[in-house]
A and B are shown apart, each in its own frame.
Chain A
Amino acid sequence: MFLGRFIKIFTSLRLTVVLLMLAMALVFAGTLAEVHLGLYRAQSEFFRSFFIYWQPQHLAWKIPVFPGGYLIGVLLLINLVAAHSSRFKFSREKIGIWMIHTGLILLLAGQLFTDMFAVESRMHLRVGETKNYSESTRAYELQLRPERFYLPFSLRLLEFKHDVYNGTDIPKNYSSRLLLNRPDTGEHREVLIYMNNPLRCAGWTFYQAGFDADDQGTILQVVKNPGWLTPYLACGLITMGLIVQFLSHLIPFLKRRAE
């Protein structure tokens, strides 16, 4: 009896709508929180958590006041899977919806995977400097130096260019010319990294992120993300599903109008 009721709630569209609205409230509150908490802390407290806690002034314990990103995500996932297995029969009319929802599951799962396994770091090079490691951007209270991620290759900055439009400060181009040296494959070549054009090597990707004020040093964003493919697959699937669903309603509608 109770189980039946329980299942009914978890397969209901009502729960979906409630969860979507809770998600909206969370995203909105999280965005506002970013202003004074900073991006990283607001993300961990609001989105990468199961609950948002409120800590009263003089007490040690925290009270959960709102579901966090992970909890809403998990509930949406359960809702989705439950609704599909209990109500949706796989049929031609529903193929669009299946694609959309499967894609969504893949997206959420993939983003969770990325959260857990992706590594983001920075590499700062002065002209002429060579490094074979990148450094963590997280600042901890007690550290001698930032955590290092060693790479199977080294990069040396040959030249950094910062062009502006004549007579303005507006940047036209940032680019770093580097020498890539990879012992295990014998690669030894020049590479150019600039805006919207990263370097991909050995599972690591290097993006032009910043530079030193005197234009003699570059800062590269270094990312290793084994789950990088999931958003592409997921979103491709969802978009195709949306198009299929949209067209499967639009075309009969237009045919009826023509009659």
Chain B
Amino acid sequence: MPGRRPALHPTMKKWIPWIFVVVFAAWTIVSLWQKPETGFHMREFGRLPVLLGGRIQPMDSVARSTLLQIRARQNAGQISATAWLMETMMNPDAADKLDVFRIDNLELLNMLRLPERQKYYSFNQIQPHLDDISWQAQHINNIEDAGHTAFERQLLKLANALEIYQRLQLSLCPPGTENFTAQLAAYKQAVPAGIAAVQAREAGKSYDAAALNRLLDFLAGYNELSQSAYLLVVPPIPQSGTQARDDWQNIGASLMNIVHGGDLQLAVKDYAAMATACRQNRPDDFNQALDDYRRWLGERFVPETRQGAQEFFFNEFQPFYKAMVIYVTAFLLAIIALLTFALAPNLSETLRRSAFWLVVLGGVIHTFGLLFRMWLEGRPPVTNLYSSAIFIGWGCVVLGIVLERVFAVGLGSAVASFAGFVTLVIAHNLSMGGETMEMLPAVLNTNFWLTTHVVVVTLGYASTFMAGLLGIAYVLLGLFTPLLKHKPGRMELGEVLAKMVYGIVCFATLFSFTGTVLGGIWADQSWGRFWGWDPKENGALLIVLWNAAILHARWGGMIRERGLMNMAVFGNIVTSWSWFGVNMLGIGLHSYGFTDAAFKWLVFFVVSQIGLILLGLLPLNLWKSFRPENRS
């Protein structure tokens, strides 16, 4: 064999893959171990369930999703998202000084007279221009949407961030409250006298104006809270049997209820105590109120408490980020394994196996994240664009693992890890809107069709992408390395790739066709027509037609190995159009609106694929693998 190097020690060769796996598995799990908290028990606060966006979620999720929209990060620099949320809701004056608003656009910075390059700005810095921003935002929303400029988009984003921020500040305490607990006691005392004054006035008798005004002052503040609060923190009153489980209220509404004869809810009392303790920097009082509330909740709201704790765990574990890191490592190992195949066969084999087992580890964590999301939502795996990216990645990884088992050459691991990594990056970018587990609109209230149509068609997307990635591998390996002619087993690598791509295209044809048909049946059951030429339907049809064209072209001898690969790469363009392109047209049932960044990336991707196809069309005698001297 050419290029003989001393073999690795046999034991090392056997154990290196396992060392990789153990190290990364340990890294995955070690983040779960947390030191017990001193000071404020912020993690316990983070687990408290609240209602936002129509679903029960922990404070931690609220903190992360709002901070993503404001700061484009899930933390506020040195402090965690939950710590920031606590500050914002309970200690607004201090929170106003924190640099949390992300602004990059120069025009906007100039308009706000802010220093450039600071990246994150505080509310205090922006505060003098609030009216201006809101006027501009209104003006932009009124003009016909012919596509906003970058400045307009950034301004709208800032206006949205400011609204969320201000509404968060009105979610727990009325503005300017130093001691909410004392205020509540005073309010409770003022209610009877105030109501008596109202009744007296309505009856035309003399009334206590001071008592009336005192009550009205309180109510003005609580009314503002009830109108503007972002989250609903007060659980439904347990005793009324017909109460819906999601009938949570915000603090303002709950307090206004006292005037109509309601009680001061324990939740309100405890949140007020927490707010007061936070403001006065007394962690023991905070923790006591927190424990009191948690105990009460734990007795009456078991599913909600569980949901809060489980989702808190999920947020902290960050399975998709961890899987992404593992995939990158696996990809590097797989590539090195491929490239050293002829030069250092033993090293190559060790790296190939290490890559494979790392992909499996990544796949296990990826699967865990996917299943956990399904458990939290109570839904099939794909419900929105974000989860479609997660699922496509998962599908590619599973396909790649199968390929690697069948053809143990490192290619399966390489494309699996590459696809896994890229789709998780796409998913991460899609999560910047804040909420990824939003409640589904009524038209999607069917788990059956979400499980059948959506899952099958998404697997069709995943497999078409896999074929395309293998095609890219063929072109790059063939042009720049002699590897296509090498024989890892009985067959040349080029032939192995051809078999893989052919098999995957068959699989893709089956799944994309069946998935599209299931979509048609769903549409027929829901809207009365099997096919409506909607852009998304057309996109799916394009994928089916292209996969069919590849198969028929091959059977008719119109293409051979290289043609198959080039057509497979073109499949990437068709699928990216169907997955993302059609959402940006502004029409049809799957219209998500035009985003600048997404469009730019789509164009970049399409151009890159066309570039690869052009490379693939170069005469074969220019390919390093097919030059006469490389025939082995």
Chain A residues with CB under 8 Å of chain B are: 12-14, 16-17, 20-21, 23-24, 27-28, 30-32, 34-35, 39, 42-43, 47, 111, 114, 118, 120, 164-168, 170-174, 194-196, 198, 205, 207, 209, 221-223, 225, 228, 231-232, 235, 238-239, 242-243, 245-246, 249-250, 253, 257
Known: A20-B549, A170-B54. A31 touches B521 (CB 8 A): no
Report the Cα distance A31→B586, complex, angstroms.
11
A31 & B585 in contact (Cβ 8 Å cutoff): yes
Chain A nearest Cβ from B462, distance in angstroms:
17
Report the Cα distance A30→B542, complex, angstroms.
12
A165 & B246 in contact (Cβ 8 Å cutoff): yes
Residues of A within 8 Å of B246, CB to CB, are 165-166
Chain A nearest Cβ from B512, distance in angstroms:
10
B549 & A17 in contact (Cβ 8 Å cutoff): yes
Residues of A within 8 Å of B532, CB to CB, are 39
Chain A nearest Cβ from B608, distance in angstroms:
20
A120 & B51 in contact (Cβ 8 Å cutoff): no
Q: Residues of B within 8 Å of A, CB-based: how many?
A: 63
B201 in the interface, Cβ–Cβ < 8 Å?
A: no
Task: Of the listed stretches B68-76, B136-144, B437-445, name the one at the interface; the rest are far from the partner chain.
Answer: B437-445
Task: Of the listed stretches B331-339, B368-376, B533-541, name the one at the interface; the rest are far from the partner chain.
Answer: B533-541
Q: Choose from A35, A165, A196, A221 the contact partner of B443 (Cβ within 8 Å).
A: A196
Residues of B within 8 Å of A21, CB to CB, are 545, 549
Chain A nearest Cβ from B232, distance in angstroms:
5
Known: A195-B445, A195-B526, A196-B443. A242 touches B517 (CB 8 A): no
Q: How many A-B residue pairs have CB under 8 A?
A: 163
A14 & B54 in contact (Cβ 8 Å cutoff): no
B441 & A170 in contact (Cβ 8 Å cutoff): yes
Residues of B within 8 Å of A243, CB to CB, are 510
B439 & A196 in contact (Cβ 8 Å cutoff): no
Residues of B within 8 Å of A164, CB to CB, are 54
User: When each residue 350-361 of chain B gets 1 if its CB lies under 8 Å from chain A and 0 otherwise, what string results?
Assistant: 000000000000
Residues of B within 8 Å of A174, CB to CB, are 442
Residues of A within 8 Å of B529, CB to CB, are 118, 120, 223, 225
Closest residue to A220 on the B side, CB-wise?
Answer: B528
B530 & A35 in contact (Cβ 8 Å cutoff): no
Q: Choose from B406, B528, B545, B574 the contact partner of A120 (Cβ within 8 Å).
A: B528
17 contacts between A and B (CB under 8 A): A16-B552, A27-B545, A31-B535, A31-B538, A34-B587, A164-B54, A165-B246, A166-B244, A167-B232, A195-B526, A196-B443, A223-B528, A223-B529, A231-B530, A232-B521, A239-B510, A246-B506
B546 in the interface, Cβ–Cβ < 8 Å?
A: yes
B514 & A167 in contact (Cβ 8 Å cutoff): no
B528 & A14 in contact (Cβ 8 Å cutoff): no
B510 & A39 in contact (Cβ 8 Å cutoff): no
Q: Choose from A120, A173, A239 the contact partner of B445 (Cβ within 8 Å).
A: A173
Report the Cα distance A122→B83, complex, angstroms.
53
B442 & A173 in contact (Cβ 8 Å cutoff): yes
Known: A24-B546, A31-B535, A239-B513. A231 touches B524 (CB 8 A): yes
Report the Cα distance A249→B510, complex, angstroms.
13
Report the Cα distance A198→B529, complex, angstroms.
12
Task: Of the listed stretches B84-92, B123-131, B258-266, B553-561, name the one at the interface; the rest are far from the partner chain.
Answer: B553-561
Report the Cα distance A122→B598, complex, angstroms.
37
User: When each residue 408-452 of chain B gets 1 if its CB lies under 8 Å from chain A and 0 otherwise, what string results?
Assistant: 000000000000000000000000000000111111011001000
Report the Cα distance A17→B446, complex, angstroms.
38
Residues of B within 8 Å of A35, CB to CB, are 585-587
Report the Cα distance A222→B520, complex, angstroms.
17
Report the Cα distance A157→B507, complex, angstroms.
48
